[in-house]
Amino acid sequence: MTEYVDRSEPDVVPAAPSAPVPAAVTPADAADAARLVAFGLQPKLQPARDQEYADLLRRYREDPPFARLADAVATGLGLVVLEVSPRAGMAVTAAEDSVFAVRMGDYARRAATDSGDRFLHGLAHLAVAAMAFPRPEDLADDAYIGRVTVNGVDSFVRQACRRLEERAAEQGENTDPASDAPGLEAAWRIWHRRSSAGATKDARRLPGSTTGIVGKAVAFLTDSGFLQRTGDDAGGTYRTTARYQLQVRDMAGSAALAELTELGIVPVTDGTAALLPAEDTDDLDLVADAGLPFHS
Amino acid sequence: MHVTSPASTDSVPPQLSAGPRPAPGPAADEGLARRLRALACTAPLHDLDARKANLAGEYSVYGMAEVALAAIDLVTLNMDFDTGADHEQIVARLIPRIAAQAPRRPVAEHERVARWVLENLINVGSVDRGFRAVYGTFAPDGSYVRRDYDFKLIEEVPGYGGSVYLRTTDEAVNVLVGALDTDVTSAQIAAEVKLDILISRGRLADAQLAAEQARYRTVQYSESLRRALDATRRNVRAVDWLQAIPDMIAEALDHVADRYRHENAILTNIRKARDETEDPGHKRRAAELVDIVKDCIRRHTQLQSRLLEAGPLFRAEQDRQVFATPMTTSGTDLYAHLLAPVLPLPVEQALRVTDAFFARGTGLRTPGSVRVGDLVDLLLTPPAEREHLGAEMPEPDLIATPDDSRFSEEQLAAATELLDLPADAPRRLSGLLAEARRRDPDLPYLVALLAVHAASPPVGTAYRQGEEKLLFAVDDGTELDDPEFGGADLIVGTALLDAAGMAADRTEAA
């Protein structure tokens, strides 16, 4: 996130000498700005529920020097400001090497050593986002509230995997991986062969099963203030918050897309226009065929 | 050794001479790979019998492969539209077969065997809860590659309220239940026509086999449909609602209507066979068939209700998704641009994408910082006692309600005794009242009340509860001559009911 540092640096530094009318920044202003960032670090706190938070948010929007000060405090702490608004609050997220960043090794112990588990945990987060915002319009529409269930996410990924399996079988391709090169195994197979649930002695979810992995992801996102639990059906139902939409749209989606482009994988049609209906016909085949039991 | 040597001379030379001679064609090799995979699916079953010697105790009397196949059959039969089979129920149904193998052993041991077999079919010990077999094939360039084949026989799926159900996998059904890898509809029609003929010829053993096969197919059919409806719920535009889905729903509804008629006809036939046959074996088999066909009908009804929900669901989703105001800004299509391209990648590459998403998509965590002083306090604090039983229930304060019954228990007993008439000797109400008055001046009121109730006897209730006799009262026009009561002098009597016959009728109607 070096670009952010670059951008805010020139913003703040000339602010002090070139500001002719406004008064110099006082320690009290700095304390308020830091307090606003501190509110932003409590993602589950709702601006509507806290008068002081709401006041500081209003000040951020109405007082540009204060806003720049708060941005600078956030940047200095290693945070990226996504949006400051009454609905999302001070939506900040961790920059790449910040102390606030979440590391996969801390998130799931097995994932540190086992690349298969690491992939499953990462894919679970991607799948939750894809299920929460199934269409590009949903991700772009600020008013949209996505809904996900744990079992729904699992079966959604499984269906995509099943379709890939069928397609490979149609082409007479042998997808069984070579025994001595596990890294070359197709990614979908890892999810496909992990069991979706498992009985445990204490009636809790089996942590290694795919519903267990998705369950962990949504519980973690709930703690991040990205999801709100709404019920217990289908393994747990959740709805998205404004912060999650911002995070996926502005941070995660583009980062993952950049990585994919770097691998040279993205089909050329995607480069021209993302929202062409032609793009949809591709997955139209996918899901429709996967559902049709009586083809051929 | 001599028996196997012809086979090995056939297969070994191509491998040895892979260098100079081109490797066998991919088509031949593919067939071999398919058979090797099918063979691998049976390995866990053989393995059970090989490993039973390692169990603590003497378990060699049990045929583990037999129990395992029975378990797979049971799970397949009990798989439902929404869920799978219940773990405990499968164990309970396995026990009779295991008990038959070793009747002198304790029930606890039978149950242990059932659980052991079931856990091994799930392969509880492994992370994936599945099996892996290694086999070799020739790659297109002629090199020999060892491959991992991963499969499951029974898998666990999440059910309502966090419960876990069992389902048999396609591999298990294809290899172990029978070669069912065929077109579902045509196979079912064939099976049911066959069933019809078999029943009309009285060949019930074969008919039962055919009926069970028909039920396997019904299960497969609803399973496929469940997947289709799930896909529909997800994204309207992702499903072809113009052609494919309506066609499928129409086809499925036709199918349900057709099968329903058909199976009801079969049901009537089997009932006739059951009631007319003399042979107890036939009778029992026919009764089992009735159960199977009834289960088929139940599944069809379930399927039909799902089909009827599909249309309204589509329209609601259409309203929500398609008719919303179009957005001007373009967003990332998370599914089409990210998830779908990532899945076919090799894990090594896919990891880079999912890692990037994870790093930016999980938000932030404020790191905890601990002071040594707090830490000491924290470590020295005794753990809070956890209440296992919850808060203590307050003793309920019960208020005795006054007994305001019009008649006492003794009076009721006396009246019931008085009205316990022999079936062949009904009596006039006037006589009963007079006799009651001699015993207790209050008793005639109760007798009159019971007699009036008997004028409209609860025949339906008695029928449902299987009563053997019923009190009734009939008015033949005679005037009642009594100092306290007026009206008709009812004839009160007892009717005997055919309890056994009614019970048989009830089970048939159910």
Over the stretch A155-193, which tens digit does the pLDDT of each residue have? Answer: 888 888 888 888 887 776 777 777 777 777 788 888 888
Query: What is the rounded average pLDDT of the residues A149-158?
Result: 84
3-state helix, strand, coil in chain A (%, to 5): 60, 10, 30
Per the CB < 8 Å rule, is B152 touching A195? yes
Q: Tokens 């064939």 label which residue?
A: B190
Per the CB < 8 Å rule, is A130 touching B335? yes
Tell me whether A235 touches chain B (CB under 8 Å).
Answer: yes
pLDDT of residue B268: 76
Closest CA to A198 of B125, B340, B186, B209: B125
Asked if pLDDT for residue A9 goes beyond 50, the answer is no
- How far, in Å, CA of A97 to CA of B367, rounded? 13
pLDDT tens, residue by residue, B139-188: 777 788 888 888 888 888 877 666 788 888 777 776 666 544 344 444 55
The DSSP call for residue A178 is: B
- Give the SS3 label for residue A175: coil
Tell me whether A270 touches chain B (CB under 8 Å).
Answer: yes
**Segments in B322-369 forming alpha helices (H):** 340-342, 347-361
pLDDT category at A116 given cuts 50, 70, 90 is confident
CB-CB contact of A237 with A231 (8 Å): yes
Please count the other Cβ atoms lying within 10 Å of the Cβ belonging to residue A114: 13
- How far, in Å, CA of B419 to CA of B373, rounded? 87
CB-CB contact of A128 with A211 (8 Å): no
- How far, in Å, CA of A114 to CA of B280, rounded? 61
pLDDT of residue B149: 85
Give the minimum alpha-carbon distance from A89 to chain B in angstroms, rounded to a whole number: 14
Greatest C-alpha distance within chain B: 122
pLDDT of residue B326: 54
Which ipTM did the prediction report? 0.78
Closest CA to A208 of B86, B79, B130, B82: B130
Asked if pLDDT for residue A258 goes beyond 50, the answer is yes
Contact list in B for residue A74 (CB cut-off 8 A) is: none
- How far, in Å, CA of A52 to CA of B272, rounded? 82
User: Could you read off the pLDDT tens digit of each residue along chain B, which spans 510 residues?
Assistant: 333 333 333 444 444 444 444 445 555 567 777 778 888 888 888 888 888 877 777 788 888 888 888 888 888 777 654 567 888 888 888 888 888 888 888 888 888 888 888 888 888 877 778 888 888 887 777 788 888 888 888 888 877 666 788 888 777 776 666 544 344 444 555 555 555 555 555 555 555 565 566 566 566 666 666 666 666 655 666 666 677 777 777 777 777 777 777 677 777 777 776 777 677 766 777 777 788 778 777 877 877 787 777 777 777 767 766 665 555 455 677 777 788 788 888 888 888 888 888 888 888 887 777 778 888 888 888 877 766 666 777 787 787 777 777 888 888 888 888 888 887 888 888 888 888 888 888 888 888 888 888 887 777 777 777 777 888 888 888 888 888 888 888 888 888 877 677 666 666 555
- How far, in Å, CA of B186 to CA of B178, rounded? 16
Contact list in B for residue A123 (CB cut-off 8 A) is: 339, 342, 350, 354
Scanning every residue of chain A, which has its alpha carbon at the shortest distance from the alpha carbon of B135?
A179
Give the minimum alpha-carbon distance from B240 to chain A in angstroms, rounded to a whole number: 6
Q: Which two tokens stand for residue B217?
A: 């197919």
pLDDT of residue B365: 81
CB-CB contact of B489 with B474 (8 Å): no
pLDDT of residue A5: 42
Tell me whether B120 touches chain A (CB under 8 Å).
Answer: no
Q: Which of residues 137-166 of A touch B (CB under 8 A)?
A: 137-141, 150-151, 154-157, 159-161, 164
pLDDT of residue A46: 83
Per the CB < 8 Å rule, is B360 touching A221? no
Q: Which of residues 95-114 of A touch B (CB under 8 A)?
A: 96, 98-102, 104, 107
Tell me whether B217 touches chain A (CB under 8 Å).
Answer: no
- How far, in Å, CA of B138 to CA of B28, rounded? 10
Asked if pLDDT for residue A131 goes beyond 80, the answer is yes
Closest CA to A223 of A36, A35, A45: A45
pLDDT tens, residue by residue, B267-326: 777 777 677 767 776 677 777 778 877 877 787 787 778 777 777 777 776 776 666 555
Tell me whether A288 touches chain B (CB under 8 Å).
Answer: yes
Measured CA distances, A142 to A269, B134, B234, B331 (Å):
27, 51, 21, 11
Query: What is the rounded average pLDDT of the residues A202-212?
Result: 78
Q: Which two tokens stand for residue B379?
A: 């470590």
How many residues are there in chain B? 510
Tell me whether A21 touches chain B (CB under 8 Å).
Answer: no
Closest CA to B186 of A117, A293, A278: A293
The mean pLDDT of chain A is 74
Tell me whether A52 touches chain B (CB under 8 Å).
Answer: no
Asked if pLDDT for residue A291 goes beyond 50, the answer is no
Better-predicted residue by pLDDT, A6 or B58: B58
Domain boundaries, chain B: 5-173, 184-319, 409-509
CB-CB contact of B66 with B142 (8 Å): no
pLDDT of residue A253: 79
Q: Which of residues 390-409 of B touch A (CB under 8 A)?
A: none
pLDDT of residue B327: 52
Asked if pLDDT for residue A23 goes beyond 70, the answer is no
pLDDT tens, residue by residue, A263-281: 776 644 333 333 222 222 2
Better-predicted residue by pLDDT, A70 or B195: A70
Which of B127, B349, B358 comes nearest A121 by C-beta?
A: B358
pLDDT tens, residue by residue, A41-57: 888 888 888 888 888 88
Per the CB < 8 Å rule, is B335 touching A283? yes
pLDDT of residue A285: 31
The long-range contacts involving B214-217, CB below 8 angstroms and separated by at least 24 positions, are: B214/B188, B214/B296, B215/B77, B215/B292, B215/B295, B215/B296, B215/B299, B216/B76, B216/B77, B216/B173, B216/B177, B216/B178, B216/B180, B217/B180, B217/B184, B217/B187, B217/B188, B217/B191
pLDDT of residue B196: 58
Contact list in B for residue A194 (CB cut-off 8 A) is: 127-129
pLDDT of residue B1: 35
Query: What is the rounded average pLDDT of the residues A115-120?
Result: 84
- How far, in Å, CA of A126 to CA of A149, rounded? 14
Strand partners, A79: A94
Closest CA to B253 of B292, B219, B221: B221
Buried/exposed B152-191: b ≥16 CB within 10 Å, e otherwise: bbbbbbbbeebebbbbbbebbbebbbeebeeebbebbbbb
Residues 6+ apart with CB under 8 A from B366: A41, A100
CB-CB contact of A284 with B237 (8 Å): yes
Q: Which two tokens stand for residue B172?
A: 């298990």
Give the minimum alpha-carbon distance from B509 to chain A in angstroms, rounded to a whole number: 35
- Give the SS3 label for residue B80: coil
Give the minimum alpha-carbon distance from B233 to chain A in angstroms, rounded to a whole number: 10
Tell me whether B430 touches chain A (CB under 8 Å).
Answer: no
Tell me whether B137 touches chain A (CB under 8 Å).
Answer: yes
Domain boundaries, chain A: 2-94, 104-291
pLDDT of residue B198: 56
Per the CB < 8 Å rule, is A256 touching B354? yes
pLDDT tens, residue by residue, B393-428: 778 778 777 777 788 888 888 888 888 888 788 888
Please count the other Cβ atoms lying within 10 Å of the Cβ belonging to residue B339: 24
Q: Tokens 């010697």 label which residue?
A: B53
What pTM, to 2 d.p., does this model score? 0.56
Per the CB < 8 Å rule, is B228 touching A284? no
Residues 6+ apart with CB under 8 A from B85: B74, B75, B77, B78, B79, B165, B166, B167
Give the minimum alpha-carbon distance from B138 to chain A in angstroms, rounded to a whole number: 11
Q: Which of residues 342-381 of B touch A (CB under 8 A)?
A: 342-367
Characterize the bridge pairing of strands B469-474 and B491-496. Answer: antiparallel
CB-CB contact of B502 with B463 (8 Å): yes
Give the minimum alpha-carbon distance from A28 to chain B in angstroms, rounded to a whole number: 24
CB-CB contact of A40 with A74 (8 Å): yes
Residue type, B114: A
pLDDT of residue A280: 29
The DSSP call for residue A109 is: H
Strand partners, B86: B165
Instruction: Label residue B352 left, alpha or beta by phi (over 0 means left) and psi (-120 to 50 means alpha).
Output: alpha
Closest CA to B169 of A286, A162, A208: A162
